């Protein structure tokens, strides 16, 4: 049973397209996250979200938007894809509260051509 699952694992698309990455967690967590890992392996927080609050990293372009149909899902929509969006995107989840760790999905490798 996968705790945090993302689909698709690989995504190749052309510039200008709109795409979505889906994420689901079955851990009963109340906070979910999206991270971007660039080619140098640097992990950057993009969003954190629970049923009360969306926290957006101010450096994330507004072409990126998280959408949460329920507590167990947090999808990432990307409009007008650019070459620089190519990266690995990780979904994660945790319980809200101090000291709880985040559980990560396997990642989605997005390649924009």
CA angle 104, 35, 49 (to 5 degrees): 85
Strands (E) across the chain are located at 4-7, 10-13, 19-25, 31-37, 43-50, 54-56, 64-70, 73-78, 87-94, 103-104, 108-112
Tell the smallest beta-carbon distance from residue 84 to other proteins (Å). 19
Site for other proteins in 37-96 (CB under 8 A): 40-43, 45, 48, 53, 55, 90, 92, 94, 96
Of the pair 15, 55, the CB lying nearest other proteins is at 55
Q: Binding residue for other proteins (CB under 8 A) from 11, 23, 25, 31? A: 31
Contacts with other proteins by CB under 8 A: the residue count is 27
Verify binding: residue 98, other proteins, rule CB under 8 A. Answer: yes
Of the pair 80, 100, the CB lying nearest other proteins is at 100
In whole angstroms, give the CA distance from residue 74 to residue 33. 8
In whole angstroms, give the CA distance from residue 57 to residue 41. 18
Of the pair 42, 79, the CB lying nearest other proteins is at 42
């Amino acid at each position: 049973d996968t705790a945090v699952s993302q689909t698709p694992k690989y995504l190749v698309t052309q510039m200008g397209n709109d795409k979505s990455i889906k994420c689901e967690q079955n851990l009963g967590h109340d906070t979910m996250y999206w991270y971007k890992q660039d080619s140098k392996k640097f992990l950057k927080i993009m969003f954190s979200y629970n049923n009360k609050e969306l926290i957006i990293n101010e450096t994330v372009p507004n072409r990126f938007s998280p959408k949460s149909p329920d507590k167990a899902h947090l999808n990432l929509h990307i409009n007008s894809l650019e070459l620089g969006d190519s990266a690995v995107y990780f979904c994660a989840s945790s319980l809200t509260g101090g000291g709880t760790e985040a559980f990560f999905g396997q990642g989605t490798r997005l390649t924009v051509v």
